[in-house]
Amino acid sequence: MTQKELLYLEDAIKHEKNIVDICNESMNMLEDEELVSFMEKELKKHEKMMKDLLDMLEVKCNG
């Protein structure tokens, strides 16, 4: 994996972490149960994406 690809992966992980943080903050402010449910689904989706990216990085680093 090239340095540029590693930097891209690092950026993607940071973006997913940011989205996870935003979802968590938003859920704490929402009162509408439908919106909370929507945000929970989004949170899970982005937590999974972040985990998948981290797993990919780990595989690449460990050969």
What is the model's pLDDT at position 61? 81
Number of domains in the chain: 1
28: DSSP letter: H
- Average pLDDT of every residue of the chain: 93
Range of the domain at 23: 3-62
Q: Quick check: pTM over 0.75?
A: yes
- Whether residue 23 has pLDDT greater than 90: yes
pLDDT-derived band of residue 34, with 50, 70 and 90 as boundaries?
A: very high
Q: Taking residues 33-62, what's their average pLDDT?
A: 93
Question: DSSP characters for 4-28?
Answer: HHHHHHHHHHHHHHHHHHHHHHHHH
